[in-house]
Amino acid sequence: MARLLVTGGAGFIGSNFVHHVIENTDHHVTVLDKLTYAGNRASLAGLPEDRLTFVHGDIGDAALVDGLFAEADAVVHYAAESHNDNSLHDPRPFLDTNIIGTYTLLEAARRHGTRLHHISTDEVYGDLELDDPARFTETTPYNPSSPYSSTKAGSDLLVRAWVRSFGVQATISNCSNNYGPYQHVEKFIPRQITNVIRGIRPKLYGAGHNVRDWIHADDHSSAVLTILERGEIGETYLIGADGEKDNTSVVELILTLMGQPADAYDHVTDRAGHDLRYAIDSTRLRTELGWRPRFGDFESGLADTIEWYRTNETWWAPAKDATEAFYASKGQ
Ligand code: NAD
Ligand code: TDX
């Protein structure tokens, strides 16, 4: 049994990871989460009290972080400001949490010799043309587009520097777009599902040709656990499940699965600097560490996710009106 510290464990992917760890291992989990607008204590409801400790705090609080690292065997770092649209509106929290927060964790890992896994995104590589046969690999040069992705790129580079300069025992993973339960209604898939539930037409940015490479959050969790157990220190692993879909197809599929006409959506103002396409080549993770995704079928994973939002309206309803008001103020 190991003692895992999970930063951002009340967010979308972090909470999915905590559920995955508690169901599939005997590790004890301590969650450190600031409970920003994106964090929700209810995402961890029902988990056994003897397996989970919740600490409400900021990853930039060096004294708090130091005490938690002293008691952890390993740290998995999910905490971040994560939404591109917010980063275009107000970049500052992205610098504070994604850059200074990660720096604070790295300094604690350095003092305590703690194993650290840093969670990052494929967005650090910029975007690809729609007809480009290439996909991102571990050697693709960094070329981030948004304030969000540039701060994630900065945090990755800090981790690499702390490994090389100070011998910090860290690994990095860069994953593609996640979907599944507990995702905030500001994000594309939950926004459209909850719009349909509320009788609002889904909103597609621009022409809707942009492509994202979708992976179920539980497959992201199994990949992270694999890297934590068998990954080589100092190395980066790309996580993806060959799930490329253009945004129009995703909206049409949501509408169809929810019993609506496939064309019952609106085109709205495009995102500034909107990345065209992301695509992950996860060969390294599969061949070197033997990882495989379990959710091969996007349509059935999406149907399960729709069902989750239908049955968990009390989880998402409190954030819905404010989120739509924010988008409406931007013409989106
Ligand atoms: P999220 O916004 O749903 O959750 C972020 C969590 O971090 C929240 O619980 C929030 O309260 C917490 N947090 C924010 N600032 C904090 C701080 N200063 N101190 C402590 N806690 C803080 O994000 P998510 O979508 O779950 O993303 C989690 C991680 O995965 C991020 O690092 C993100 O870059 C990365 N990632 C996300 C995706 C995706 O598709 N969502 C894909 C690849 C990588
Ligand atoms: O209402 C919408 N309509 C729309 O067309 C919203 C919210 C989004 N979109 C488009 C923009 C993107 O092309 O859908 C796509 C997905 O948008 P988001 O859910 O905002 O995700 P994205 O910007 O691709 O970033 C996500 O994946 C990578 C996560 O939010 C990041 O944290 C992660 O790093």
Q: How far is the C-alpha of 141 from the C-alpha of 166, rounded, in Å? A: 24
Structure tokens at 253: 């599929």
- What is the arithmetic mean of pLDDT over 298-320? 98
158-194 burial, b at 16+ Cβ within 10 Å, e below that, comes to bbeebbeeeebbbbbbbbbbbbbbbbbbbbbbbbbbb
How many angstroms separate the most distant Cα atoms in the chain? 58
Which ligand is closest in space to the CA of residue 97? Answer: 1
- Please enumerate in sequence order all residues whose Cβ is within 8 A of that of 57, keeping only pairs 6 or more positions apart, or say none: 32, 33, 34, 64
pLDDT at 26: 97
Give the number of the atom of ligand 2 that is nearest the alpha carbon of residue 206. Answer: 5
Q: What's the CA-to-centroid distance between 328 and ligand 2, angstroms?
A: 16
Q: What's the CA-to-centroid distance between 83 and ligand 2, angstroms?
A: 8
The residue behind tokens 């650290």 is 116
Q: How far is the C-alpha of 196 from the C-alpha of 214, rounded, in Å? A: 21
Nearest CA to ligand 2 atom 32: 82
String of DSSP letters for 243-262: -EEEHHHHHHHHHHHTTS-T
Q: What's the CA-to-centroid distance between 180 and ligand 2, angstroms?
A: 14
Q: Do 52 and 22 contact (CB within 8 A), yes or no?
A: yes
- What is the arithmetic mean of pLDDT over 317-323? 98
User: Is residue 296 predicted with pLDDT exceeding 90?
Assistant: no
Q: How far is the C-alpha of 197 from the C-alpha of 192, rounded, in Å? A: 9
Q: What's the CA-to-centroid distance between 160 and ligand 2, angstroms?
A: 27
Which ligand is closest in space to the CA of residue 201? Answer: 2
pLDDT at 260: 98
User: Is residue 310 predicted with pLDDT exceeding 90?
Assistant: yes
Whether 148 sits among the annotated catalytic residues: the reply is: yes
Q: How far is the C-alpha of 332 from the C-alpha of 326, rounded, in Å? A: 9
User: Radius of gyration (Cα) for the chain, nearest Å?
Assistant: 19
**Residue pLDDT, tens place only, 238-273:** 999 999 999 999 999 999 999 999 999 999 999 999
Residue 118, classed as helix, strand or coil, is strand
Mutation choice for ligand 2 from 128, 148, 152, 177, CB with most ligand atoms inside 8 A: 177
Catalytic site residue from 58, 81, 122, 127 = 122
User: Is residue 72 predicted with pLDDT exceeding 90?
Assistant: yes
Q: Does the reported pTM lie above 0.95?
A: yes
- Please enumerate in sequence order all residues whose Cβ is within 8 A of that of 252, keeping only pairs 6 or more positions apart, or say none: 262, 263, 265
Residue among 220, 99, 219 at smallest CA distance from 149: 99
**Residue pLDDT, tens place only, 124-154:** 999 999 999 999 999 999 999 999 999 999 9
Domains in the chain, CATH or no CATH each: 3-178+214-239 (3.40.50.720)
Nearest CA to ligand 1 atom 35: 120
Phi/psi at 170 (5° precision): -125, 155
- What is the arithmetic mean of pLDDT over 157-175? 98
With a Cβ cut-off of 6 Å, ligand 2 is lined by 82-84, 121, 123, 177, 187-188, 191, 203-205, 210, 212, 247, 271
Structure tokens at 119: 């969670």
Cα angle for residues 35, 37, 43 (degrees, 5° grid):
60
Q: Do 256 and 217 contact (CB within 8 A), yes or no?
A: no
Whether 265 sits among the annotated catalytic residues: the reply is: no
Catalytic site residue from 58, 81, 123, 186 = 123
